[in-house]
Amino acid sequence: MNHVEAVRGFNRFYTRRIGVVKPGMVGSPFTLAEARVLYALGRDGETTATAIGRELSLDLGYLSRLLQTLRRRGLIQAKRATHDARHQHLTLTGKGRKAFTLIDSRSRDEMAQMLAPLEAKERGRLVSAMQTVEALLKSDKAPGEITLREHRPGDMGWVVERHAVLYNQQDGWGLAFEALVAGIVKDFIDDFDARREHCWIAERNGERLGCVFVVNDKGNARLRLLLVEPSARGTGLGRRLVDECIRFSREKGYKKLVLWTHAHLLAARAIYAKTGFRKLKKTEVHDTFGPRAVSEFWELVL
C-alpha cells in the first residue's frame, strides 16, 4: 500500500470511528459544519464570520449561507462592531448556548467511551500519535529550525512535568517516577558545576521539544533525562542530543559516559547502540514506578 492509499484508508476508518458520516453530529440535529461553528462561538464567546471561516477553512459563500440558517433557527445573533459598521460580531443566543453545551458534553462523553477500553499506556500512544500527525500536517507556518540552548529559569519545571506526563501516558508510570525526576533535577541545580556538567534544551519557535543532561558521577560523565516530544520525533533530535553529550564529555576529559535506561525504550536504545554505547550484562527488574520494567545499564568508553 502506498502512502496516499494508507492515509485515505486511515481517514475512512477515523471518520467512521468518530461518527462524522452520521446524519447529526454526536446525535444532535446539527451537521458537522454547523456544530463546528456553534463550538467556535461557544468557546470564544464572540467572533466574526471572517475569523470562523479562517479557522475552519470554509468558503465564505458557504459559511454565509450556513450562518443565515443558524440565525433563522434562533441559535446565533449578530451586532455591528462599534469601531467599524462594516463588520459584525457573532454570538450565541440562549438557545444557541444550550445547543453548544449539548454538543460539547456529548462529544466529551463519546471520546471518553472510545478511550475507556484502552489502558493508560495505550491512551498515551494514541495521544502521541495524534500529536505527531497534527505537527506534521500543520501548514500555517514553516516548522522552523530546532535549536539547542543552555537551561534557564523555568526549564527545570518543564523537564519534570513533561517526563511525568509522557511516561505516564506511554508506560503508566506514576508519582514515584515524577519524584525521581524531580530529585535528579534538584541535585543538578544544587550541585551544578558548569565546568563539568551541562543541560541542553531543544527549542523550535519558542516551544521546548526536548532535553538531555550530562552530570559528573564519581568521575564519570552520566547522561540523564533524555526526552523528545512526540511532535519532534523522527527529526533526528534524539540522536543530536546524544551526540552533544558525547562531544561535551570528550571535551571535558571524561574517560567514560554512562547511562541508565529501560529495555522497552526501543528508540532511545537504538540511538545509544548507533552512537557506540555498549549494554552491560547487569539488569534489574522492578515495579518502582508502577508497571513492571527492566532496567539496563550502558556505557561508552571515550
pLDDT band at residue 81 using 50, 70 and 90 as cut-offs: low
Give the span between the Cα atoms of 19 and 208, in whole angstroms.
34
For 53, phi then psi, to 5°, come to -60, -40
Q: What pLDDT is recorded for position 116? A: 87
Helices (H) and strands (E) in the chain, counts: 10, 9
**Domain 147-301 adopts which CATH fold?**
Aminopeptidase (3.40.630)
Q: What pLDDT is recorded for position 278? A: 97
What radius of gyration, in Å, describes the C-alpha atoms of the chain? 25
Q: What pLDDT is recorded for position 21? A: 64
CATH 2.30.29.30 fits 3-117, yes or no: no
Q: Side chain identity at 39, as an amino acid letter? A: Y
Residue found under cell 495521544: 127
The residue-averaged pLDDT of 74-98 equals: 76
Please tell me which residue, 266 or 78, carries the higher pLDDT value: 266
- Residue 22 confidence (pLDDT) above 70: no
Domains 3-117 and 147-301 share a fold: no
The residue-averaged pLDDT of 258-280 equals: 95
3-state secondary structure of 150: strand
Q: Give just the sign of the alpha carbon dihedral 36, 23, 134, 173.
A: positive
The residue-averaged pLDDT of 203-229 equals: 95
202-212 pLDDT, tens digit per residue, is 998 889 999 99
Please tell me which residue, 63 or 190, carries the higher pLDDT value: 190
pLDDT band at residue 150 using 50, 70 and 90 as cut-offs: very high
User: Of the spans 3-12, 92-101, 138-147, 255-264, which averages the highest pLDDT?
Assistant: 255-264
Q: Cα separations (Å) of 201 from 39, 169, 196, 210, 248?
A: 36, 22, 17, 6, 15
Q: What pLDDT is recorded for position 182? A: 97
Beta-strand runs (E) in the chain:
76-80, 88-92, 147-150, 198-204, 207-217, 220-228, 256-262, 278-286, 293-301
Q: Which of 261, 236, 256, 233 is nearest to 246 (CA)?
A: 256
The residue-averaged pLDDT of 234-242 equals: 94
The residue-averaged pLDDT of 237-249 equals: 96
The residue-averaged pLDDT of 227-254 equals: 94
Q: What pLDDT is recorded for position 13? A: 83
pLDDT band at residue 130 using 50, 70 and 90 as cut-offs: confident
Q: Which of 278, 207, 265, 205 is nearest to 238 (CA)?
A: 265
Q: What pLDDT is recorded for position 225? A: 98
Give the span between the Cα atoms of 283 and 67, in whole angstroms.
63
Q: Cα separations (Å) of 92 from 30, 39, 47, 98, 178?
A: 15, 10, 10, 9, 43
- Any residues with CB less than 8 A from the CB of 155 and at least 6 apart, and which? 199, 201, 208, 211
In the chain, where the domains are located: 3-117, 147-301
User: Of the spans 18-22, 101-105, 126-130, 248-252, which averages the highest pLDDT?
Assistant: 248-252
The residue-averaged pLDDT of 104-110 equals: 84
State the chain's mean pLDDT as an integer.
87
259 secondary structure, DSSP code: E
Q: Side chain identity at 23, as an amino acid letter? A: P
153-185 pLDDT, tens digit per residue, is 999 999 999 999 999 998 999 999 999 999 999
pTM over 0.75: no
Please tell me which residue, 288 or 87, carries the higher pLDDT value: 288
